Amino acid sequence: MNIKILSRNSQLYSTKRLVEAAMKRKHTVEVVDPLKCDIVIERRNPNIYFKGKYIKDVDAIIPRIGSSVTFYGTAVVRQFEMMGAFTTTDSEALVRSRDKLRSLQVLSRAKIGLPKTVFTNYSRDVSGVISQVGGPPLVIKLLEGTQGVGVVLAETKNAAESVIEAFNGLQARVIVQEFIKEAKGADIRAFVVDGHVVGAMKRQGKDGEFRSNLHRGGSAESIELSDEEEIAAVKATKAMGLGVAGVDMLQSSRGPLILEVNSSPGLEGIEKATGKDIAKTIIRYIEKHA
Say whether both 124 and 49 belong to one domain: no
CA 77/CA 98 separation, integer angstroms: 14
Q: Does residue 101 lie in a domain region?
A: no
- 77-127 confidence digits (pLDDT tens): 999 999 999 999 999 999 999 988 899 999 999 999 999 999 988 778 889
Domain count, the chain: 3
Q: Does residue 111 lie in a domain region?
A: no
CATH number for the domain including 149?
A: 3.30.1490.20
The most distant pair of C-alpha atoms in the chain lies apart, rounded to whole Å, by 60
Which of 204, 200, 220 lies closest to 212 in space, CA to CA?
204
In the predicted model, residues of the chain with pLDDT beneath 50 are: none
CATH number for the domain including 275?
A: 3.30.470.20
CA 173/CA 171 separation, integer angstroms: 6
Q: Does residue 152 lie in a domain region?
A: yes
Q: Does residue 131 lie in a domain region?
A: yes
Q: In sequence order, what are the residues at sequence separation of 6 or more whose Cβ sits closer than 8 angstroms to the Cβ of residue 12?
A: 64
CA distances from 124 to 70, 120, 128, 165 (A): 31, 9, 9, 8
Say whether both 169 and 188 belong to one domain: no
Say whether both 24 and 85 belong to one domain: yes
pLDDT number for residue 123: 77
CA 272/CA 37 separation, integer angstroms: 32
Residue range(s) defining the domain that contains residue 234: 184-289
Q: In sequence order, what are the residues at sequence separation of 6 or more whose Cβ sits closer than 8 angstroms to the Cβ of residue 162?
A: none
Report which residue type is found at 264. Answer: S
The helix/strand count (H/E) of the chain reads as 9, 16
Q: Does residue 232 lie in a domain region?
A: yes
- Tell me which of 179, 200, 233 is where a domain ends: 179
Say whether both 173 and 188 belong to one domain: no
Q: Does residue 107 lie in a domain region?
A: no
- Tell me which of 134, 161, 179 is where a domain ends: 179
Could you please report the per-residue DSSP string of 177-189? EE--GGGTTEEEE
pLDDT number for residue 143: 80
Q: Does residue 106 lie in a domain region?
A: no
pLDDT number for residue 150: 78
